[in-house]
Structure 1
């Protein structure tokens, strides 16, 4: 039997910390006299008390550290239970929704998906708007930490290959967790402050700049406006595109950059590939729009840049009317969303790293067909990819495809039309946040989806956020045996 106390201790501390952060939206609503401060006050007390009680009940085993199986349970438990407490303000006060909708919104925020069931977000109290942005930001920071500390050592989908010096074994990583977390926080907070400052300097109202800045660096996508970035200036579109890219690069490279080593960032093959692929897609779609419509070059390029970067970085902001651009742009966008951004960031999807290795394996297989005696090894960043890594990546790709198919069928059978079901599965498993389809069109949200479909989407968001296999392994009976 797995000892759950070390896991419960960490989760309890995180829930208590989450409750403490609710003081910020509480103070915001209190100062503005929005009449919704009580919701955050009550939710904060419940979260702090429950989290503290859980941590105290489990603290006698906390000092012994975590085993591999406990680390799997921790990564899944954080994104399963923490949103439950993050949803409390939405139930207690405005917008006063049902628990399933509140939990959907909180999971979407914590997993940095950005899909929403809230209509007319401009009418929400300032504290609620700020809390949505904070959920994005807290989830993005947590994902950066998990991605750097746990996923590489858990051998999830080939992630054990994506390591840098000092991230070798589970035993070596944990003692340095506090140092790594502190460095990641400084980088993450610095990027956030810079983003908010640039937005404000370019004319965005300060509160909206703060809400958008929190969501941008987290690649989260929650916006205080129903129209997202559509009504802002052209300069803000370019600024947001830049910061979405910065938020979707490996955070360990920023840590190395701050420490005085810039070469790892610029020499990282997945960073170069990510920039090349998204840049090529932008140019192709912009050229297609110019030649098939009467749109001028600059707006065609700017809107293509913003929307495609938003999709590939799994942010979910929108500008213009991207879903109406036609099938070609939608297909390019869907592929970019499936690929996703860089491993080791708050972005989701298959990840550029995994796709690069799969493409390398494909080239190697083709070479062996016409030259059977040739030794065609798959190499990445100057290193030969071992068989265990290749097997893990192939398994991950297969799991991704099968899970996407099961989710689409499940959402469709729940009463959602097929087009909306496909895009719902795509946007949630990839943590992308874009909404499209006949059932989405009236409100631009997923509020009209049946509860069963929302449950499927909640599962998809958590699985997509935690690299699928981290969740699927928990379903194996063998995992729970001693």
Structure 2
């Protein structure tokens, strides 16, 4: 009989302590913003930063004797889940201490939505919030987008979670021939991520945004996060701004490792990546279809129909969550298309969520192989992707993830309905949470554009779904299994 053993949490506690301490240090940016502008909210960030430094520092000091130990697989999973539970808690502190002075649940909802790059909000009247709070929300998006890139590209492939191990294959050259050390990967990722962010800031400003809004929107765009400093999101901006946002939302949802390879002088992997080509092709198809449908079914012009379809559909598929124009009122066809591409999501290895183009492509390849076997039972038809046979463990992981995604999506939606939320709002709440999309839809969202009117139990379920979606579901499920705690 398997026996239960105590997992040594000290190495995990040491890393978590350092991360919380670093989080406290980053609060100096919104603190200085509010202090300089005299918004009267600087005390919230100074108090929250002090709490982070004390709690994080003491935890790291208490566990530092075991800092040199290598993390086991179980400790790695616990660290991953712990990061996405603890960091939002401490990130929520300034939202409770100062403006907007919301409850713990609402503050935690907003912080989880930010750090998981979901973009769903419970804040009404964002335009009236102190500048430091707006900066902090955008920073949470940016830090969350960078953090998931680190986890997805460094830790999860080593632990062989959810199909991401495909990036370890010889064809992708991720860990062996391109960059031999994880620290090199992290450094290059930070360089690429920061470079894209700065380029996005400049582009927004040139397209017509004031500097403050350009900076905050850029932080959220590259992270595919969706937090805007305006309640109206992108409504009211010049067309050039929407086209600029569409471009950078796509760039932010491509595999970061391809940019690393590009910076190192190799552009071929990016152009030859099947999921990149598939992602761009599917965007073109759905934008074209929705544009034609809108032109044929309304009196809206071709350019405005194309621009709104391009911006909003890319926002959904890249799991960003910005909104513009009257897209939510376009009717059932546009929303059904949006729901499907939101489920698919963008590319693996980026900050975007959803099933991912890679997984969907492999599933479609498996269906084609199965159909071929039905037509010719004696024919050997292996599942192939980019000319290579997909390994059985990769295929099994993808099928497992697909099943877990569908079941979780349905269960969360049903549970949200049990809290008193109507069917339409509950379905889209589950969809937007587990896919980290941030795009609200339904009667309970329409009035404010936020999830503030949802009952507290429904918000708690959305928080759980956002974290599970960001961690590709399986990391959370693994920790919850009794076998995980057995020797």
TM-score bucket of the superposed structures, by smaller chain? over 0.9
Give the CA deviation at 1:71. Answer: 1.1
> Which of 159, 173, 176 is equivalent to 1:165?
173
Give the CA deviation at 1:165. Answer: 2.5
Partner residue in 1 for 2:282 = 277
Partner residue in 2 for 1:444 = 449
Partner residue in 2 for 1:346 = 351
Are 2:19 and 1:14 equivalent residues in the alignment? yes
Give the CA deviation at 1:162. Answer: 2.6
Residue aligned with 1:246, SS: helix
Partner residue in 1 for 2:244 = 239
Partner residue in 2 for 1:214 = 219
Residue aligned with 1:275, SS: helix
Deviates more, 1:71-80 or 1:114-123: 71-80
- For residues 214-244 of structure 1, the C-alpha deviation after alignment (integer angstroms, 9 at most, x for no partner) is 0000000000111100110000000000000
Partner residue in 2 for 1:156 = 161
Are 2:256 and 1:251 equivalent residues in the alignment? yes
Partner residue in 1 for 2:182 = 177
8 A contact 2:429–2:440 mirrored in 1? yes
Give the CA deviation at 1:65. Answer: 1.6
The CA RMSD measured in Å over matched residues stands at 1.3
Give the CA deviation at 1:166. Answer: 4.8
- For residues 111-140 of structure 1, the C-alpha deviation after alignment (integer angstroms, 9 at most, x for no partner) is 000000000100000000000000000000
- For residues 144-178 of structure 1, the C-alpha deviation after alignment (integer angstroms, 9 at most, x for no partner) is 1111001222222222123233537xxx99x9222
Are 2:377 and 1:372 equivalent residues in the alignment? yes
- For residues 280-306 of structure 1, the C-alpha deviation after alignment (integer angstroms, 9 at most, x for no partner) is 100000011001111111111010000
Partner residue in 1 for 2:3 = none
Are 2:122 and 1:117 equivalent residues in the alignment? yes
Are 2:138 and 1:133 equivalent residues in the alignment? yes
> Which of 379, 397, 402 is equivalent to 1:392?
397
> Which of 402, 410, 418 is equivalent to 2:423?
418
Return the TM-score normalized by structure 2.
Answer: 0.97
1:191-230 alignment, distance < 5 Å? 191-230=196-235
> Which of 263, 268, 281 is equivalent to 1:263?
268
CA distance in 1, matches of 2:475, 2:351: 16
Unaligned runs of 5+ in 1: none
CA distance in 1, matches of 2:462, 2:287: 29
Are 2:340 and 1:332 equivalent residues in the alignment? no
Give the CA deviation at 1:465. Answer: 0.2
CA distance in 2, matches of 1:53, 1:246: 40
Give the CA deviation at 1:5. Answer: 1.1
Give the CA deviation at 1:441. Answer: 1.2
CA distance in 1, matches of 2:393, 2:181: 26
> Which of 316, 323, 326 is equivalent to 2:321?
316
CA distance in 2, matches of 1:125, 1:369: 63
- For residues 333-372 of structure 1, the C-alpha deviation after alignment (integer angstroms, 9 at most, x for no partner) is 0000000000000000000000000000000111111111
> Which of 4, 9, 25 is equivalent to 1:4?
9
CA distance in 2, matches of 1:67, 1:185: 26
CA distance in 1, matches of 2:232, 2:326: 10
Residue aligned with 1:150, SS: helix
Partner residue in 2 for 1:468 = 473
CA distance in 1, matches of 2:344, 2:124: 29
CA distance in 2, matches of 1:5, 1:279: 49
CA distance in 1, matches of 2:270, 2:425: 38
Return the TM-score normalized by structure 1.
Answer: 0.98
> Which of 418, 435, 438 is equivalent to 2:440?
435
CA distance in 1, matches of 2:105, 2:404: 27
CA distance in 2, matches of 1:385, 1:68: 24
CA distance in 1, matches of 2:163, 2:209: 41
CA distance in 2, matches of 1:396, 1:6: 29
